[in-house]
């Protein structure tokens, strides 16, 4: 039997989604699991395989980005839907090209269409690749769009690692070996497949450094890549 896991911290929204899906349960024979945050969702995934994950991004304890990172590592063939209350930019839509994430749903969305899209995936068993990374551009755009404060590491093919620092969705510091700032970002930003690991934020707030224009940086890196090619 198929299982759909829904991770959403808003109890009213969670009940609303669950109610909408129950209309289709008997006909299409699937179970609904619910989680109020990423931690609960991970605990469910550790016990049961699911056919589809539907997750919000902003959640307490463990958020949607960390949950997606867990699924990407432990269950890379599990398709995911992402819900977000923030506007989805054209750049962020590139995440749909990464096979794990099939759809983005900006809140509020049409619940009937949402439910039917879930059924479509369950019925047709949409194929998804088994991969260990997503494009750096897609990942950076998600961090920016969700206005997330975080620090993460990107693993490069030559075994080097780059560390990115975001504050409320704004990029400040990038370090890669002896390089820093724009030069360090240019080393990684055009990677199509990369592995990401979130790092603990420092207990004492470090100086933010110079703010970087992510859109301009991406455009410059892609232009440079085209010129080289």
23-32 contact pairs (CB < 8 A, 24+): 23/115, 24/115, 24/118, 24/119, 28/2, 28/119, 28/122, 28/123, 29/1, 29/2, 30/1, 30/2, 30/3, 30/4, 30/122, 31/1, 31/2, 31/3, 31/4, 32/3, 32/4, 32/6
Q: What is this structure's pTM? A: 0.61
pLDDT tens-digit profile, the chain (229 residues): 889 999 999 999 999 999 989 888 888 889 999 999 999 999 999 998 899 999 998 899 898 888 988 888 888 778 889 888 766 555 445 554 555 677 788 888 888 888 888 888 887 654 333 335 678 888 888 888 877 788 888 888 877 899 999 988 899 889 998 898 999 999 889 888 888 888 777 655 555 567 889 999 999 988 877 776 5
Domains defined for the chain, CATH in brackets: 2-124 (3.40.50.2300), 136-228 (no CATH)
């Amino acid at each position: 039997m198929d299982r759909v896991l829904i991770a959403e911290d808003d109890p009213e929204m969670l009940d609303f989604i669950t109610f909408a899906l129950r209309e289709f349960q008997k006909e299409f024979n699937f179970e609904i699991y619910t989680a109020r945050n990423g931690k609960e969702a991970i605990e469910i995934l550790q016990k049961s395989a699911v056919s589809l994950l539907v997750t919000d991004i902003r959640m307490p304890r463990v958020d949607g980005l960390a949950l997606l990172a867990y699924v990407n590592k432990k269950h890379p063939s599990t398709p995911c839907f992402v819900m977000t209350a923030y506007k989805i930019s054209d750049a962020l839509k590139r995440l749909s090209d990464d096979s794990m994430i099939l759809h983005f749903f900006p809140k509020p969305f049409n619940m009937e269409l949402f439910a039917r899209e879930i059924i479509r995936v369950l019925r047709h068993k949409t194929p998804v690749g088994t991969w260990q990374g997503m494009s750096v551009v897609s990942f950076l755009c998600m961090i920016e769009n969700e206005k997330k404060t975080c620090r993460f590491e990107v693993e490069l093919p030559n075994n080097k690692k780059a560390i990115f620092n975001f504050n409320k969705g704004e990029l400040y510091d990038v370090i890669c070996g002896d390089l820093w700032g724009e030069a360090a970002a240019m080393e990684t930003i055009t990677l199509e497949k990369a592995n990401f690991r979130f790092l603990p934020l420092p207990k004492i707030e470090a100086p933010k450094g110079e703010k970087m224009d992510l859109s301009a940086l991406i455009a410059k890196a892609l232009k440079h890549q085209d010129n080289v090619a």
